[in-house]
Structure 1
Amino acid sequence: MTEGEASREAARAGLPDLPPLAVAELDLDGPDGEVLSLRPAPGGPPLGEGGVYALVRLRGHPAATVLAHVRTGEDPAEVLAEAFRAERAVRRRLNAQGTAAEHRARAEPVPPPCAERPTPLLPRATVVVATRERAGQLARALDSLLAQDHPDFQVLVVDNAPVTTATRDLVQGRYAGRVDYVLEPVPGLAVAHNRGGAAARGEVLAFTDDDVVADPHWLTALTEPFAADPRLGCVTGLILPARLTTPAQILLESHGGFAKGFTQRLYDPAAPPADEPLFPFTAGSFGSGANMAFRAQVLASVGGFDPATGTGTPARGGDDLYAFVRVLSAGHRLRYTPGALVWHHHRETWEDLRNQAYGYGAGLTAYLTAILVRRPALLPSLLRKLPRGLAHARTITAHRAGPDGGAAPGGGPAGRPTTSTAPGVHGAQTHPWPRSLSRLERRGMLHGPLGYLKARLRQRGSRP
């Protein structure tokens, strides 16, 4: 989509006409150190003047995002580094005063240099990519997966309910001998993931989508925790935008996108987190399906993904959330690690954003329905936690809502830099979320249980 087309679509949809942002990676030699490098995000355009959204790395380790406006004659690297240092200094003062617990929680880790980190024996991994009729972007994803620095892994493409041979031709032609191919004729993302798991050879099953570009260290970072913690059942990672060229993409990312922050976190059912009263039912905070891995034995022990959930079924989503909760409710740990990074190509159009909003709502209630249908013993636990969870949600909503019912505005003065160690383009939710999208999300939530039950009935009818 061209810039002019994006502007016209934004006007028709009532979206703000947001100028495109360049996406980049800035590497610093420590929090207050010098700039090591600045480069465009994989597949992104070269950097110039205008808005730049950058991932800040500290000696290679993802630590924050920063947004800055680069003017003519300015050095983009120095502008972005200055913004990061300034915001970090503010956070230090807040932490010293003890006035902002959320800032303390978001303080970025300062990792040791790579040479000082012990290298565990990594488990053999299989990367499963489910796809349907998107051979062009699948090739981009496969190129990044084959460039991983993990010493022992398999890449497996699951061709889900194809109508052409494009995917098979690509994998068995261009990637012959390097990528394995399996066909799953039944539509549905969860069905495809289960098919991939059955054909995989790895001890760890990593799942990603065909619209990502994986960082070269992604698979190593995603599988390292399994070697260190035998109680770990699942690991999720960081998802950042590969491009921010349309108002729909920028709006989605300014409200968090798919990222879960830059602080490692361990979710342990033996020690539930105090800040999540509905744990483990707050599955959306654990990660996303475009960047997740499971110990193969653990995933098999909980029955895999529920085939009546996920994209391609009437449930519209929830397959990843279901798997997270099943693993945790079976007593296994889940770790979120921002060092495992993929760059996601967000959908470009307003209609795509509408579909996503509806799908988010439907997937949420569909996964909850799936959990209670398949594990009814969890219902008393959910009912006990619900009043405190709803009170917690109301508190957060009251804090974040702006005067128009959308998110509270933020960002720096006159378009100058803003920074965040939490997700979001501007470090704060600067662009109000349209009421129409909120209504769609609520409609999706009403549809979710019915969609899930419809998918279950459809599955039973299709069995021989």
Structure 2
Amino acid sequence: MTAGLPDGFTVRLSRHTRVVDDGAVLVGGSPIRIARLKPAARAALHGHEVTVADAASRAFADHLLATSMADPVVASLPPVDVALATAVIPVRDRPRGLDRLLASLAGMRAIVVDDASADPAAVAAVAARHGAELLALDANRGPAGARNAGLARVTTPFVVFVDSDVVVEPGTIPLLLRHFADPRLAVIAPRVLGLDAPGANWITRYEDARSSLDVGHDPSVVRPRSRVTWLPAACLAARVDLLGAGFDASMRVAEDVDLVWRLTEAGHRVRFEPGATVRHDHRSTFGSWLGRKWYYGTGADLLAVRHPDAVAPVVLAPWAASLLVALGAQRRWSLPVAAALLAATAIRIGRRAPAVRHSYRLGARLTGYGAVTAIAQGFALLLRHWWPLTALAAVGSRRVRRAVAVAALADTAWEYARTRPRLDPVRFGIARRLDDGAYGAGVWWSAVRARSPRALLPDVRRREGVRASLDRHNVSD
């Protein structure tokens, strides 16, 4: 394995990265940073792209990937033979879904791990029909344990974990495998969309637009406190030699989040590639849908124990937290105080970027972006993470009721405009609130069960946020 990105590897600036001062400065990444480029870096940047050709361009491209300022140009990556990857499929019953999945894998080598099905013969028959290797477990181990059992039998350099309620679209796995030209990449996942199926109802239409498994439409590095913080294990491609023992088999939920965070903590790269897609058979009955949302929430404290610095429901800089308090107070002084906080923050950012031509204008723009993000996080606290407290407070407080009404309407309007669901606004809004309520109930259940508020506490501390970025090879202050 090479020490760095190979020659010819090309990265393109993200749509969230802005080039200012005639190409001398980049603003973007996650968290947002301001980077002034050295002459060698400016020379390597052609049309918002950098192609690795020498040590300087290699370091620059790697820096852009690591900071989420740029993403790989897939067409520049060499193809990888699918024979170098093995699909590992955990399944418990669900033979029809397994049959559908194996057909979509188009003959790819696959290991089906039967996690103690009630009807193992049906699962075995489907696996045999598609020529898949069958590993039958004597006792149910859960998805993490089943995946690990399959992983232990993988002899190829790459593994693709796929759940049996998924259909893999053509070209998805070859596209994912191309990304492993980056030697630091440990895991990459496609976008998870809804499966087109007859009998769609308002629940499946909502899930098609706002599924918990769909983490967006922009490629990104994945790590805590970034634009994309986790990946679902519905479909994950991974480099076998970097996985170690694999998933934490003691976890029945949130094991995918834990794996991603452990890999990033170890210094490996994890990516999301929405250009590759799989289709998930979403739950369509009211009870099973709400139960799954609740179940996802119950993993919060498990993550809080293992990753205490990454699991906070919201992460706010002190000025952003103060802004929410001021606006939430709904007093005569609220707007003047909020305006003062915004002005002070814009000035502070401008002073930290003296090399930028219009630093205070840039500071105002970034402060506005931060304010919108902070308000959205405040809405999430009210409606999702802290809704039991919100409900109690609303009984005796008109201001809380007003804040809840504003948050619910604004959140619904924004998400409806953003996702454009095949659903009317009223039912979408109801589904949105039920989604938040069920997930939040699961988080609270996990906190009560653990007798710890860790999973409910916001992270309010001075953090990097917008910062001047320094890489000794390529950028300077």
Question: Is the TM value for this pair above 0.5?
Answer: yes
150, 164, 187: which one aligns with 1:234: 187
Aligned CA distance change for structure 1 residues 130 and 338 (closer, same or farther; 3 Å): same
Q: CA deviation at 1:120?
A: 3.2
Please say if residues 246 and 348 of structure 1, whose CA atoms lie closer than 8 Å, have aligned partners that are also in contact. Answer: yes
Give the corresponding residue for 1:19: none
- For 1:382 and 1:181, the matched residues in 2 are separated by 36
Give the corresponding residue for 2:375: 395
Aligned CA distance change for structure 1 residues 168 and 252 (closer, same or farther; 3 Å): closer
Q: CA deviation at 1:202?
A: 2.0
Encode CA deviations 1:54-108: one digit per residue, 9 max, x unaligned: xxxxxxxxxxxxxxxxxxxxxxxxxxxxxxxxxxxxxxxxxxxxxxx99xx9xxx
Please say if residues 411 and 427 of structure 1, whose CA atoms lie closer than 8 Å, have aligned partners that are also in contact. Answer: no
- For 2:159 and 2:424, the matched residues in 1 are separated by 33
Q: CA deviation at 1:211?
A: 1.1
Give the corresponding residue for 2:246: 304
- For 1:353 and 1:146, the matched residues in 2 are separated by 30
What 5-or-longer segments of structure 2 have no aligned partner?
1-27, 33-69, 322-369, 384-403, 452-477
Aligned positions of 1:321-340 closer than 5 A: 321-340=257-276
Give the corresponding residue for 1:459: none
Q: Is residue 199 from structure 1 mapped to residue 153 from structure 2 by the alignment? A: yes
SS at match of 1:337: strand
Aligned positions of 1:40-439 closer than 5 A: 119-122=78-81, 124-146=84-106, 153-175=108-130, 178-184=131-137, 185-226=139-180, 228-243=181-196, 245-267=200-222, 280=224, 285-300=229-244, 303-310=245-252, 317-369=253-305, 371-372=306-307, 379=308, 388=317, 391=321, 395-398=375-378, 403=405, 406=408, 408-410=411-413, 430-433=428-431, 435-439=433-437
Q: CA deviation at 1:111?
A: 11
- For 1:159 and 1:125, the matched residues in 2 are separated by 20
Task: Indicate the RMSD between aligned Cα atoms, in angstroms.
Answer: 4.0
Give the corresponding residue for 2:362: none
Give the corresponding residue for 1:76: none
- For 1:200 and 1:351, the matched residues in 2 are separated by 37
Q: CA deviation at 1:442?
A: 2.4
SS at match of 1:308: coil
Aligned CA distance change for structure 1 residues 242 and 365 (closer, same or farther; 3 Å): same
- For 2:251 and 2:229, the matched residues in 1 are separated by 19
Please say if residues 159 and 183 of structure 1, whose CA atoms lie closer than 8 Å, have aligned partners that are also in contact. Answer: yes
What 5-or-longer segments of structure 1 have no aligned partner?
1-100, 148-152, 268-278, 311-316, 373-378, 413-417, 454-464
SS at match of 1:403: helix
- For 1:381 and 1:254, the matched residues in 2 are separated by 27
437, 441, 445: which one aligns with 2:443: 445
- For 1:142 and 1:388, the matched residues in 2 are separated by 47
Please say if residues 309 and 367 of structure 1, whose CA atoms lie closer than 8 Å, have aligned partners that are also in contact. Answer: no
Please say if residues 159 and 167 of structure 1, whose CA atoms lie closer than 8 Å, have aligned partners that are also in contact. Answer: no
- For 2:268 and 2:148, the matched residues in 1 are separated by 20
- For 2:237 and 2:72, the matched residues in 1 are separated by 23
SS at match of 1:146: coil
Encode CA deviations 1:433-463: one digit per residue, 9 max, x unaligned: 454543332231133368799xxxxxxxxxx
Aligned CA distance change for structure 1 residues 201 and 452 (closer, same or farther; 3 Å): farther
Aligned CA distance change for structure 1 residues 358 and 235 (closer, same or farther; 3 Å): same
Q: CA deviation at 1:409?
A: 3.8
State the one-letter code of the partner of 1:338.
Answer: P
State the one-letter code of the partner of 2:186.
Answer: G
SS at match of 1:224: helix
- For 1:290 and 1:387, the matched residues in 2 are separated by 30
> Which has more helix, going by share of residues?
2
- For 1:229 and 1:246, the matched residues in 2 are separated by 42
Q: CA deviation at 1:235?
A: 0.5
Q: CA deviation at 1:198?
A: 0.5
State the one-letter code of the partner of 1:359.
Answer: Y
Between the two proteins, the alignment pairs up a number of residues equal to 306
Q: CA deviation at 1:324?
A: 0.5
Q: CA deviation at 1:307?
A: 0.9
Aligned CA distance change for structure 1 residues 217 and 441 (closer, same or farther; 3 Å): same
Q: TM-score scaled by structure 1? A: 0.57
State the one-letter code of the partner of 1:163.
Answer: A
Aligned CA distance change for structure 1 residues 425 and 126 (closer, same or farther; 3 Å): farther
Aligned CA distance change for structure 1 residues 423 and 140 (closer, same or farther; 3 Å): farther
State the one-letter code of the partner of 1:119.
Answer: P
